[in-house]
Chain A
Amino acid sequence: MDFKFNRQMRVTINRNGVIGRRDFLRGVSVAGLAAGAAHWTDAVGARADELRSRGMSCILLWMQGGPSQFETFDPKPGHENGGETKAIATAVPGLQFADNLPHVAKTAGDLAVIRSMTTKEGNHPRATFLLHTSYVPTASVHHPTFGSVVSRELGRLDAELPSFVRIGPRFVSAGAGGLLGADYNPFSVPSPDRLPDNVQPATDTARYQRRLGLLDNLESAASGAAATETAEHRGLYKKASQMVLSPQMAAFDLSREPEAMREAYGKTNFGAGCLLARRLVEAGVTFVEVGLGNWDTHQDNFTRVGALSGELDQPFAYLINDLKSRGMLDKTLVIWMGEFGRTPRINPRGGRDHYPRAFSAVLAGGGVRGGRVIGRTDAGGVDVEDRPVSAVDLFRTFYKSLGIDADRENMSAIGRPIKIVDGGQAVEELFT
């Protein structure tokens, strides 16, 4: 069975959505599927292809732990809640960031800062899930993570590279394909400086191909009961072997970048991750998530956020500049966010605790007009004073930027239709 077809089919089933994916597969004879039923693909692919052809991509810079808005994008110098953090001018007159982000401040003309994020989830796993899916976790529905939805909606069907790549340490609750299936799970790159595990064949190409042919012949000769499993397995091996043999895999190899470029992004893990994200998007990958952890600063907030911002500042700024100079920024939505913000009050250990009531997120590219601020917190950063933006509002905004209909429904395992985003309204003024 051709993988391309397999994937289209799943799209269809979910859209028509009365039965689960496996149920449908079983309803159609496996032999018929293997022989190919091209009209199916044609019938359902048309609208989706138009979307895919727009070539939109997304890079999510995920700040695990909950970055302090006071020490990044919503400083409160002069207020006791602001602590010792100073504000600096940015490229946009009247707009100030914390002094931890001098490089990012220079790119402010391309950034839209939402200072009025507000949710009710102050627990890491729940909030991480919320800011990856737009839903709170439930045991009964496996909501797909953001990157899985985007890769399903926009991923190129003929892509040889995975359409959703997650770079950096694995964070619990960041989610996976969920009800969309394992096809849409992130392809994980734990360390951007090393090729992903097992992507190179153990033998020469000719022998590798002979082995694949033998596997096919032996599976055809078997008389086992697991016909559905075998058909899916073949689709998977076809896709995996295409990837292994693809010249595009060079996109994962950072050693192909000139040293000057490595240095421009900063030779840290996060810097290498941002550079790899740009290479992957350039090679046609639809969604790349790059993680930077340890923002959970219950103690010693100011020193630690200072150090973390040092890791963030240069790569984030250079990523925006690099995308822009390559003409890729308009078609690439870049998002900076974490699961929540930090408390206005500084605790006795010099830390800030979890604070979902008022925090910041940043967008750039993807049709978002930069150089402005959405929403406002009060003088002490305690409450949102103007233009509150909820998690569902934020996700509506992302999907609007990417051209994805957020009201489209997918089927849960128990046959319940689940919208990509349930409720909320996009922050329209970002696009005007």
Chain B
Amino acid sequence: MSRFLLSALALCSLLTGLAPAAEPGYRQAAAKVDALLSEEVFQTSAGGTVELAPLAGDETFLRRVTLDLVGRPPSPAEITAFALDRSANKRSAQVERLLAQAGFGRNWARYWRDVIFYRRSDERALIAAPGAEDYLTERFNANAPWDAIARSFVTAVGDIREQGRTAIIMAQMADPNDVTAEMSRILLGVQIQCAQCHDHPTDRWKRQQFHELAAFFPRVQLRPKRGDGALSFEIASFDSGRARRAPGMPGRGALEHYMPDLNDPSSQGTLMTPSFFVTGESIELGKSDLERRQSLANWMTSPSNPWFAKAFVNRIWAELVGEGFYEPVDDLGPDRKCSAPATMDYLAEQFIASKYDVKELFRTILATQAYQRESRPRRNPDQLPFTANCPQPLRSDQIYDSLFAALGADAQATAPQRRGAGPYRIGGPRAQFAGVFGYDPSDRRDEISGSIPQALLLMNSPQVNRGINARNRNSELDRLVTQVSDDDEVAEELYLRCLAREPNEKELAVCRDYVRGAGDRAAAFEDIFWALINSAEFLHRN
């Protein structure tokens, strides 16, 4: 073990001194989840249980839970402290520590920012993204209940830079049809926009129901604002004026919503009364914008609408365990297949009973064996779900933070500030990085694969190559190779920094051979550093 690990011992003894949380209900809930999965998924026809992956070891668990909760890898000091902690409940204690960090809100705010803005209908919507991220960061760190956050999305008004809650409306430029589709997809997991143009034989919700839902949003208005020079927008209510929206001008606002006549698109269409398709609750014509949206917000987030809780639970479960009960994660509903319905129902009921307590849902899922199992490659369709965790491709922000955790903060400071092209103008180097590594988190993870530009960036970019330069006086590698004479120790430290684990014997042997074969020790370690950053493992969490 390297001296850097040992130097963390003092920190470790501090951490183990923390009292564990009182024996909590989430543990019972987690046990119930595992029991339900056992019953409805794992039992064989012969009465036995299928083979399940063993629980992951501490190193794997710590990297997984740290990336999952706070979006960065654990530091070498955290790894050492965790490894040396002998207490029985150290995993849940670590979860509590991470949930209390500001990085928790930031990480999950970025996840939802991407859920919302990857489906934007207009590049200008990105102006609202930083504000949305800050808003959600604050909300998740304050453990605001999910129903309160959801209601704020539905009822949002105000300047889009200042009011992060305007995110979903702004991402669709306040177009009533697009806003309706996204509110339903994101908050309910129901893809009712499939019914926007025509009825589908396999879906129970009809075209009229889509447009009745859209009738909650015709008065939402998007107004450009040019105050201090920077373009912005304001979401406002349009409560007097023309009854029908001017064609081709979404976001201007209209008093009522009309379902277009498909045979005569230029005609006025049919006047729609606002009605919520799940429960059938409705509000009469003529009501003000905020009366409509507040009613809908209450109905959508009511415990009598099961899809609201399920949509959130399904996404968080999928992110953590690697596969949703429903796939894709935003396509739920009575006509979709759920891979473990009793488990899904139980988690959703618990979430409702907790009054949509987000952190409690995380505690519960993270305490399950389903979460804590070793990872195995994604299953074939003929194999059972949840017998193992799945390797997840890291999201762009997680890779960005992993990269600079490995390279050191100095490398981040020298990242170029060049203005990128297209949608990534906004937000600096992190957003530019997302232009290469980002993906829509609603997409199926088995459809996400690496790209040539990603490989090019990690192999050849000046930032990475400056960061691994052992001759750079401020670099981490310079410090390592000058202070540590034992080659194995340097290799171990690099593995901890890059992959949050110690190398196995074979890997150490490869490193040893490489260093011995190279004339220049520092250069050899640069190459090892480079290889670890360019490995598949660096880009995934197991």
Contacts and interface: CB of A to CB of B under 8 A. Distances in A.
A200 B537 CA distance: 24
A332 to B, nearest CB: 24
A397 B423 CA distance: 32
Nearest to B455: A240
Contact of B122 (A122, A124, A208, A354): A124
B542 A224 contact: yes
Interface string B521-537: 00100011011101111
A219 B527 contact: no
Interface stretch (B38-46, B208-216, B506-514): B506-514
Given A120-B265, A172-B123, A210-B527, A139 B185 contact: yes
A413 B446 CA distance: 9
A422 B137 CA distance: 44
Interface stretch (A39-47, A96-104, A109-117, A227-235): A227-235
Contact of A139 (B194, B422, B534): B194
B396 to A, nearest CB: 14
A75 interface: no
A225 B391 contact: yes
A223 B265 CA distance: 61
Interface string B435-451: 10000000110111111
B248 interface: yes
Interface residues of A, number: 69
A214 B510 contact: yes
- What are the 4 A-B residue pairs with the smallest beta carbon separation, nearest first? A170-B422, A233-B536, A190-B421, A240-B455
A169 B376 CA distance: 40
A232 B454 CA distance: 13
Given A139-B194, A170-B423, 17 more contacts: A22-B446, A123-B175, A124-B122, A139-B330, A140-B328, A187-B453, A198-B453, A198-B457, A198-B459, A198-B460, A215-B531, A215-B534, A222-B507, A225-B375, A233-B450, A243-B452, A354-B248
Task: Sort chain B's interface into a size bin.
Answer: 35 or more
A152 to B, nearest CB: 14
B462 interface: yes
A376 interface: no
Interface in A121-139: 122-125, 138-139
B510 A190 contact: no
A91 interface: no
B284 to A, nearest CB: 30
Interface in A181-213: 181-183, 185, 187-188, 190-191, 196-203, 207-208, 210-211
Contacts of B244: none
A226 interface: yes
B455 A236 contact: yes
Given A139-B194, A229-B536, A214 B531 contact: yes
A23 interface: yes
Nearest to A237: B455
A291 to B, nearest CB: 10
A169 B378 contact: no
A39 to B, nearest CB: 22
A226 B536 contact: yes
